[in-house]
Structure 1
Amino acid sequence: MAVKIKDVAAHAGVSVGTVSNVLNGRETVSPAAAERVRAAIDALGYVRNDAARQLRAGRSRSIALIVLDVGNPFFAAVARGAEARAAEDGYVVLLGSSDGDADHERLYLDQFREQRVAGVLLTPAVPEGDVVQHLASAGVPLVLVDEQTDSDAACTVSVDDVEGGHLAVAHLLAQGRRRIAVVAGPLTTRQVADRLEGARRAVAEVDGASLEVIETDAMTVLAGRAAGEALRERGDHPDAVFAANDLLAVGLLQALTMLGGIRVPDDIALVGYDDIDFAAATVVPLTSVRQPAEELGATAVDLLLRQLDGELDPAERQVRFRPELVVRASSG
Structure 2
Amino acid sequence: MKIDLTDTTASKINKALVQGRRAIGSPAVGMVLTLVIVTDEENAYDALRAANDASREHPSRTLVVVKRVSRSPRDRTKSRLDAEVRVGADAGTGETVVLRLYGEVADHAQSVALPLLLPDAPVVVWWPVASPRDPAKDPLGALGQRRVTDSYSAVKPVDELRTRAENYEPGDTDLAWARITPWRSMLAAALDQVDCEVISAEVTGEEFNPSVELLAMWLADRLHVHVQRGVSAGPGLTLVRLETTGGPVALQRPDGAMATLTLEGQPDRVVALKRRETSELMAEELRRLDPDDTYASALRFGVDRLGGAQSTTDRSPLPTRTPASAVADSASRTSSAAATGNRPSPAQMPPAKGTAAK
Question: TM-score with structure 2 length normalisation?
Answer: 0.35
Instruction: Give 1 or 2: higher helix fraction.
Output: 1
Structure with the greater alpha carbon radius of gyration: 1
Instruction: Give 1 or 2: higher strand fraction.
Output: 2
